[in-house]
Amino acid sequence: MTAFVKECRQEWKRLGVPDLLADEMAADLEADLAEAEAEGVSTAEIVGESDPRRFAATWASERGLVPEQRPQKRRRRVWPWVVVFVFIVLFLSWLALQTVGTSHARNSPPAQVPPARRATVPNLVGKRACRAEKIALAAGLIVRGLPRSRCHSLVVAQTPAAGTRIRAQAPRSAVKLRLRARR
Amino acid sequence: MAIESRRSQMLRGVLDLCLLAVVVDEPAYGYEMTRRLRERGLSTVGEGSIYPLLGRLEREGLVATHRAASDGGPPRKYYSASASGRRALAEGVRAWRDVRGEVDSVLATIEAEVTG
């Protein structure tokens, strides 16, 4: 067996061509090449191919003895797309939450937070207690602990002093008055 | 494009017809077919070989095969045109002549100049 045919035979074996057929093809090729050589025709002229393995593979493939080699599909990597998808989902979720939060904040009534209003303590000294109370209320202040019975009492001192700016309508913003009963 | 390459490409489309033509009347084994082609004027079949093409013709059922002893040599695989092979040959020859005529009509207006 010539080297060319021998390599063809090996290739057919590698490709899984049944031995019976591979032997038959090898024998035919061997006989043809010998006959050609006897007539002065080179192997290259007969097989038209310098690579015995390629020649053998083409022959076997054309005969349908081996499956045609299809270009292998490139397997696409899936995981980068999964990561991107997850990121997109997370981003959209975050965006949705932000939008809902903003919308909720827009639609909901404003919180009943009393404005941090400040008031200037008026001068109440020398006023009657009930009059002083009215002045204080008009200024946004509250006078606590003033019994009705002391309505005509005179204010002789006040805390804090007149002119002080205090936070109006706050628990600790009450003005304390010292009263003196009218004689 | 190199002349040999163009020749190979042109032959590629009709070589199967040529192979069928040389076995339509009398069976032949591989090298014998090469010899018949050469005797009819086709000395080289260009790139490639007749063997893969014979394999395809066999697979497609266009040739029938049998083994028989050759003159003084080992048993050989003989090829002959099958019924479908004969039909394919007739259709192929008709198509070839049509194409050849059309191409000739186009190329006839070209005046080739060969300088030595």
Report the alpha-carbon distance of residue A148 to residue A133 in Å, rounded: 11
Q: Output the furthest CA–CA distance in chain B (Å, rounded).
A: 53
Which among A31, A41, A62 is the nearest to B73, CB-wise?
A: A31
Q: Domain range spanning residue A50?
A: 3-63
Per-residue confidence (pLDDT) for residue A105, from 0 to 100: 60
Per-residue confidence (pLDDT) for residue B12, from 0 to 100: 86
Q: Please tell me which residue, B20 or A68, carries the higher pLDDT value.
A: B20
Of A63, A89, A107, which residue is a domain's last?
Answer: A63
Report the alpha-carbon distance of residue A3 to residue A7 in Å, rounded: 6
DSSP A6-24: HHHHHHHHHHT--HHHHHH
What digits encode the pLDDT tens for the residues B94-106? 999 999 999 888 8
Per-residue confidence (pLDDT) for residue B39, from 0 to 100: 92
* Strands (E) located in chain B: 63-69, 75-81
CB A12 within 8 A of CB A25: yes
Residue A123 lies in a domain: yes
Please indicate whether, in this complex, the C-beta atoms of B76 and A47 are within 8 angstroms of each other.
Answer: no
Report the alpha-carbon distance of residue B56 to residue A64 in Å, rounded: 8
First-to-last alpha carbon distance for chain A, in angstroms, is: 148
Contact residues on chain B for A5, CB-CB shorter than 8 A: none
Q: Which amino acid is at B79?
A: Y
| Tokens standing for residue B42 | 């086709």
Of A47, A63, A79, which residue is a domain's last?
Answer: A63
- Mean pLDDT in runs of 10 for chain A (183 residues)? 90 92 91 89 80 90 78 70 92 89 64 66 85 82 75 81 78 74 64
Per-residue confidence (pLDDT) for residue A111, from 0 to 100: 55
Residue B57 lies in a domain: yes
CB A54 within 8 A of CB A8: no
Q: Domain range spanning residue B49?
A: 3-107
What digits encode the pLDDT tens for the residues B41-96? 987 775 568 999 999 999 999 999 999 887 777 889 999 999 999 999 999 999 99
Residue A110 lies in a domain: no
The structural domain count of chain A equals 2
Please indicate whether, in this complex, the C-beta atoms of B74 and A27 are within 8 angstroms of each other.
Answer: yes
Query: Helix, strand, or coil here: A128?
Result: strand
Only one residue has tokens 């050609």, namely A36
Residue in B closest to A49 by C-alpha: B48
Residue in A closest to B44 by C-alpha: A45
Of A29, A46, A63, which residue is a domain's last?
Answer: A63
- The answer to whether A13 contacts chain B (CB < 8 Å) is no
Report the alpha-carbon distance of residue B30 to residue A38 in Å, rounded: 15
Q: Is residue B113's pLDDT more than 60?
A: no
Contact residues on chain B for A41, CB-CB shorter than 8 A: 34
Report the alpha-carbon distance of residue B10 to residue B33 in Å, rounded: 20
Report the alpha-carbon distance of residue A92 to residue A178 in Å, rounded: 65
- The answer to whether A8 contacts chain B (CB < 8 Å) is no
Helices B83-107 and B15-23: angle between axes, nearest 10 degrees: 130
Which of B51, B53, B76 to mutate against chain A (most A CBs within 10 Å)? Answer: B51
Q: Is residue B116's pLDDT more than 50?
A: no
Which among A33, A41, A48 is the nearest to B48, CB-wise?
A: A48
